[in-house]
Amino acid sequence: MIKFENVIFMRNLNLGNLKLKQFLFYFITPFILILPAIYNGYPLVYSDTGTYLRSGIELIIPPDRPIMYGLFIQCFDLNFTLWPVIYVQSFFTTFLLWNISKVAFPSFSYLKFIIILLPLSFFSGLGWYVSQLMPDIFTFIAIGSLFLLLFQSKKSILNYVIYSVLLILSVNVHFSNFPIVLLTLFVSFFILRYYLKSKQRTVNFILPISILFFSLIIGSLTNLKIGNTVKINQGSHVYLMGKMLDSGVLKSFLDDKCKNNNYVLCACKDSLPKDNRELLWSYYGPLYKHGGWENSSKEYTKILTDLLTSPKHLSLVVYNSFTSTLTQLFQNDLGSGLISEWYRAEDSPPSIEIKKHYQFELNQYYQSRQNGNLWGQELKIDSTNFIYKVLLYLSIFILILLFSIKKLSTHINDSLKGVIIFLCVSVVSNAFIVASLANIYDRLQARISWIFIFSILLIFLSCGKKILLELRHLYTPN
């Protein structure tokens, strides 16, 4: 006879083993996504990394970016090392990807999830952006948190808190994340209600919208506490002016309007900077002659307001947004801005800040592949980039095929369809926002376009056998 005490013991033992397995899973999987940093020998840096490090440590709000990512670094750097920062980024990312996978396919196993992460780590933007001391991976973290707030069926109060905190943090670490998430939310609302009519009627969109706007309050209060300003984006007028310059709309507007208006840029309308980078960063350009990022707001906002209320030039802006979005969708090179001898120079912003605040890791930084290490081994990702593009465009082709052939799409359950539609909408939303409000750049698209590869891997590891059998049936002669 089995004693009652033995049953209780075995049950507790099984529960203990399950909790241990979960702990090991959540602890180990983040290391998979930071393999690019391990390969490099140090967390990857970008030209903006130094500004983020300085802003968080010295509590200075940069005029051209938010301070929240700098504060995030400060929370996890242990005051001497930057490795925990990218580990936490990876932990957030794997946690969200795992829960999204479970929404798509509830019986999804740990092993299958690890199989997905391994190729994505090194051969997609996922691992390369997780491994960077930059806020770019938080675009996905914002999207993933939003998705789980909307569609995870069994949410505890703890789940709500975790997803809400991640969404608030993500929206505030990069200016583009708020409009990207908002656009994704509204587009998905209409698409999913049409595509998955019965199920999506029960989805509550009010909560995530409320959290999104609450995040703006958090950002404003943070800026008020640190910099005595409630303005979240102090440089929005400059970025948008740069976009109008690149698109050619600014030149057209000034040519038409300077006859009857004395705008501040009229004096240089025939000698404007050649592109937004020259406008934003050249100390000899018109921006710094007109007061720089902070003091140009009034004059530049006047130009932008009149430009966007001019029917002719507004139509040019809309047309350019459409063409720029299409172009941005194909900007997917890995490593944009990562490979440069400039980083090893002692006067580069990353070098300055790491030397000042992370002296313990300075040698490790200079001996990374990004800085040529002791054996002259550079950070080479040409072959990685080639493999990534093959996987990316093949994944897009297969997704189109699966969703356009009804007999194949019937094998994909509604939950998985919802995941893929929502995530794909986010990729297009990202392209539209960054191309319309900022500039066309690989870094801003590759940070999220890996979602297409993730979607295909998710499909084939959950219902791939059924799809392959259906394909065999469709194309086998009778």
Whether the CA torsion 120, 122, 124, 129 is positive or negative: it is positive
d(CA 381, CA 335): 7
Tens place of pLDDT for every residue, the chain, 478 residues? Answer: 455 555 454 455 555 666 788 888 999 999 999 999 999 999 999 999 999 999 999 999 988 889 999 999 999 999 899 999 999 999 999 999 999 999 988 888 999 999 999 999 999 999 999 999 999 999 999 999 999 998 877 778 888 899 999 999 999 999 899 999 999 998 888 877 766 555 544 567 788 889 999 999 999 998 888 887 777 777 888 899 999 999 999 999 999 999 888 899 998 888 898 888 888 888 888 888 888 888 888 899 999 999 999 999 999 999 999 999 999 999 999 888 898 889 989 999 999 999 999 999 999 999 999 998 888 788 889 899 999 999 999 999 999 999 988 888 888 888 888 899 999 999 999 999 999 988 889 999 999 999 999 999 999 998 878 888 877 777 666 5
d(CA 424, CA 338): 26
| Residues 66 and 232: beta-carbon distance below 8 Å | yes
Whether the CA torsion 305, 306, 309, 315 is positive or negative: it is negative
Please tell me the total number of residues recorded for the chain in this structure.
Answer: 478
d(CA 401, CA 403): 6
d(CA 468, CA 478): 17
| Residues 327 and 434: beta-carbon distance below 8 Å | no
The three-class DSSP label of residue 30 is helix
Phi, psi of 44 (to 5 degrees): -70, 140
d(CA 243, CA 222): 28
d(CA 128, CA 86): 11
| Residues 37 and 131: beta-carbon distance below 8 Å | yes
Helix (H) or strand (E) holding 55: helix 49-58
d(CA 401, CA 399): 5
- Could you tell me the two tokens for 98? 């795992």
Question: CA-based angle 359:361:363, to the nearest 5?
Answer: 95
pLDDT for 200: 47
d(CA 29, CA 39): 17
Nearest to 113 by CA among 465, 412, 457: 457
The three-class DSSP label of residue 44 is strand
Q: Which are the contacts of 91, defined by CB distance < 8 A and separation ≥ 6?
A: 26, 30
Please tell me the pTM assigned to this model. 0.91
Alpha-carbon separation of residue 170 from 68, 76, 249 (angstroms)? 9, 16, 32
- Could you tell me the two tokens for 162? 């975790």
d(CA 209, CA 204): 10
Nearest to 439 by CA among 284, 271, 178, 238: 238
d(CA 186, CA 165): 21
